[in-house]
Structure formats: C-alpha cells, structure tokens
Amino acid sequence: MTILPLIFSSSSIPQASLFISITSSSLLHILPYLSINSIIIITTTTNTTMPFHPTKDIPDLTGKTILITGANSGLGKTSVLEFSRHNPSQIWLAARNLTKAQSAADEIKQQVPTARIHLLELDLSSFASIQKAVEVFLSTATRLDILMLNAGVMAAPPGMTPDGRYEVQFGTNYMGHALLTRLLLPIMEKTAKRDDAGVGGRVRIVAVASHGQRYAPPGGLQFETFKTNGESMGPFARYGQSKLALVLWVRMLAQLYPWLTAASIDPGVVGTTLGDGATGAPRYIQFLFKVALVLRLAASLENGVRNQLWAAVSREVNSGEYYDPVGVVGKSALGRDEELARRLWVWTEGELDNYLGVRD
C-alpha cells in the first residue's frame, strides 16, 4: 500500500500548510473537497521506522515517577495509559482542566486498575500556574525520572498569553515548558544520582515537537515577535516557530546537562484534538483537519504515540537529537543550527532569570 504525503499551499500560507499521510485509494475521497486554489504535490515516501511496541518494549517502571503535560487527551493521555501498564510508582497527569483530567484518569484506570495516577493542574500559558504546579508536585514527589513535554496549541489566532508575556503559541508550546523544566531540573538531577535513575540509568526529557517546524519564518526564529501578539506572521508560521524553538532548546539542554537524556520528536499527523484549536487557520485548512479525521487519514493515537514513548525509554536515543519517525534522526537543518540554538538559549534564560528574580 503506497503512502503519499499530500501538501497544500496557498497565497495565505507561503509555505506548505498541511502534511497528511494518505493511501492512494483515500486520495479519491478527498479530491472533491479541496479548494480550487490549492496546489497538490504528490510523491512517495520511503522513511522507515524503528520497530517499537509499547507493550513489550517499555521496560518495568517500578519505582519510577513520570510527569506528562497535556495529558487529559490525545497523545498525552495515551502515554499515561501505556506507561501505566508497566507499573510506575507515580504518573502525574498534568492538564489545565482538572475535571477533564479526572475523566481521563478514570478511563485509564478502567483498563489499568492498578495505575497510580496523580492529577496536576497546569496551564502552560501562565507562569504563575506553572510555579504553583511545581510546588504541588515537589510537595509530594521525591524523584522525577521522565518528563514528557507533550502539551501544545496550534494555529491559534494572533494573541498574547493571559499574563501578557508572549505570543500565545510561543508562550504555551515553548516558554511554558522551558520554565517548567527549569524548575524541575533540581529534582531530576537529584534523581539522576540514584542507582535506579530513569531508564538505563538516565533521566529523560522528551519534547513533542512537530513536522510543522518547517513552517517557521525565514531564518527560523523572529525574536522580535516573541513578545508581540504575532499578527505580523501567519498562524502556521507562529506554530512552526514555537516548535522549532523546542527542537533547538533540547539540543542545548543535552549539551549543558550531560547527566540527562533529552530528545525532541515528531509524532506525525495523528487523530487528536489539536486541530480543534486551529481557529487562526484559513477555513479550508480547518476543514481539511476534519476531513483527515473523518476519513481516518491521520495515524491512530496508538501508532502516533510510539515516537515519544520510544524516546522516553530506549537506550538507542542520542541526547539532543530530533527524531522523525521513530528512531530515525529527523532532517531539520534549522533544528541543527548551533548558533541559533545558543542565541535562543541565552534569550530564554534571560527571560526566566528576570521572572524568577535571579541576579548575576
């Protein structure tokens, strides 16, 4: 069965705006719905994926503590489920809405009654919420073996985070995770010194990036837009910028903290609710997201989650790399730009220092 990437572009989005893996037979179903202004480019792909089966390839996690952001639905929720099957001592399900988080936990416990799930209220668009969540976590947890940075928003309309600090996608997808990680690094370093640390003796940080990083603006990052509402850029350019920032930041984490293993990954196009928030995208793009789900063109959650689970437990992970697909180092030229990564790191640390009141 041939897999085809379908790439749409339009005058409103200068670069390719959507990438969907489809079968050749499904193409006939989607063609009648395409905008006449769309350009369709079809080529075959040959990417091979490293075999990874969560049920048998995730090791015993007895004694481990895991924290996953955006875990009340989609890939985050599925990650909680798969990890729960392997007996970790604590899984922290972090989400903005505790009611939805509780529902997710209840559903998971129906499949894994022994799951030890802790709920954590966390809004990554709010630095105050992040600090409070870390305080709650540290009041109970004594270690942290795996930190999965899974939460995100996509193609949101121009706007700022509620506290007025950053463009909303950059603030939520990148800066929120950067602050969360910085506040959790001390307990992770403490865990790393234990004989039973992490997986294979390594604590892990996994950042869920995206193939959408290719939609970042020319040069990769426009620093002058970080603290604006982003109206000078398109919705997917803002999204791509936030995800590219994650990839670059992970590279610096790996260099500066050699006692941990950090990786960024692309889950691919997956049937999640992420597209529901893409209200800043053109209507035909919003429609195509829905078509992809209805026609089952997107990968299932069970398949889509494999890359981040692999990165969290595999001994084959090279710290600092970006993986797309499972086990394969992704082709991201901007994501390997060391100078850009260092510039972003210095800028980010300066922002966090200012917020935390750190002085030289």
- Condensed to tens digits (0 to 9), the pLDDT of residues 234-251 reads 999 999 999 999 999 999
Q: What is the tens place of the pLDDT at every residue in 188-222? A: 999 999 999 999 899 999 999 988 888 899 899 99
Residue 340 has pLDDT above 90, yes or no: yes
Residue 56 annotated in active site: no
Residue 270 has pLDDT above 90, yes or no: no
Q: What is the tens place of the pLDDT at every residue in 29-50? A: 443 444 433 333 333 344 567 8
**How is domain 55-267+305-356 classified at the CATH fold level?**
Rossmann fold (3.40.50)
Residue 227 annotated in active site: no
pLDDT at 268 (0 to 100):
75
CA angle 328/155/172 to nearest 5° reads 80
| Identified catalytic residue from 239, 257, 284, 323 | 239
DSSP symbol at 300: P
| Backbone φ and ψ of 348, nearest 5° | -65, -45
Residue 115 has pLDDT above 70, yes or no: yes
CA atoms of 230 and 157, how far apart (whole Å) = 9
Sheet holding 41-42, edge to edge: 13-23, 3-10, 41-42
| Summary mean pLDDT of the chain | 84
Q: How many CA atoms lie within 13 A of 261 on its CB side?
A: 20
| Identified catalytic residue from 77, 166, 243, 322 | 243
Residue 12 has pLDDT above 70, yes or no: no
For 120, the enclosing helix (H) or strand (E) is strand 117-121
Q: What is the tens place of the pLDDT at every residue in 304-314? A: 899 999 999 99
pLDDT at 9 (0 to 100):
38
The residue ranges of every structural domain in the chain are: 3-42, 55-267+305-356
CA atoms of 141 and 295, how far apart (whole Å) = 43
pLDDT at 17 (0 to 100):
38
